[in-house]
Amino acid sequence: MILAHFIVGAMPINNSEFSWFWFIGSAISDIDHLFVLYQHKIFSWGKLIEAIRFEDKYGIRSKTKYMHSIFGAVITSIPVLFISKEAALYYFVAYLIHLVLDWPDIDEKQYLYPFKKKIRGFLPIFSKPEIIFTILLLGLYFYQIKIF
């Protein structure tokens, strides 16, 4: 659900206003994808999409236990607390929503790190249901910002 995280992050919150803390919280955990792709020298769009869709085939895990976990949500929320409690709450909730949106993805996740429990969803990455959900989410976004 790659684009879904950015759409959710752009959604207006708190009196219908945009929040950078909400946006960053919704998208930041995907930074681990960039690290993993760089580590495996996957630089072209074709290889990128193929590697994300078929992680088992390439033997990689683009969702690391550090960023795609409740542990990651807590640790990365701590610095935001120094800015504001409200900002940290927005950030943390958006981060958790990101994890929930990733739940159906078929790839392996370790949400409860440091515990060894691994979770796999049921939907292939970039599957038709994911694309339909993303389009519906985009429609909701446009409705929220009063374009429709």
Query: Span 2-18, mean pLDDT?
Result: 85
Query: Which of left, alpha, beta for 59 (phi over 0: left; psi -120 to 50: alpha)?
Result: left
* Residue 112, pLDDT score: 92
Q: What's the pLDDT at 20?
A: 94
Q: What is the pLDDT of residues 137-146, one digit of tens each?
A: 999 888 888 7
According to the model, what pLDDT value does residue 62 have? 64
pLDDT exceeds 60 at position 148 = no
- Residue 83, pLDDT score: 95
Residues forming beta bridges with residue 123, ordered by sequence position: 105
**How are the residues of the chain apportioned to helix, strand and coil, as percentages rounded to the nearest 5?**
60, 5, 35
The pTM (predicted TM-score) of the whole model is: 0.83
Angle at 110 between CA 57 and CA 54, to 5 degrees: 15
Residue ranges of domains in the chain: 18-141
The per-residue pLDDT for range 60-110, each reduced to its tens digit, is: 766 778 888 999 999 999 999 999 999 999 999 999 999 999 899 888 888
pLDDT value of position 53: 67
Greater confidence (55 vs 142) lies with 142
Q: Looking at residue 124, what is its pLDDT?
A: 81
Contact 92, 69 (CB under 8 A): no
d(CA 126, CA 102): 12
Q: What are phi and psi of 108, to 5 degrees?
A: -80, 135
Q: CA-to-CA distance for 135 and 54, rounded, in angstroms? A: 23
Tens digit of pLDDT for each residue in 107-128?
888 899 999 999 888 888 778 9
| pLDDT at res. 88 | 97
Instruction: Give the list of residues 6+ apart from residue 133 with CB closer than 8 angstroms, or none.
Output: 1, 4
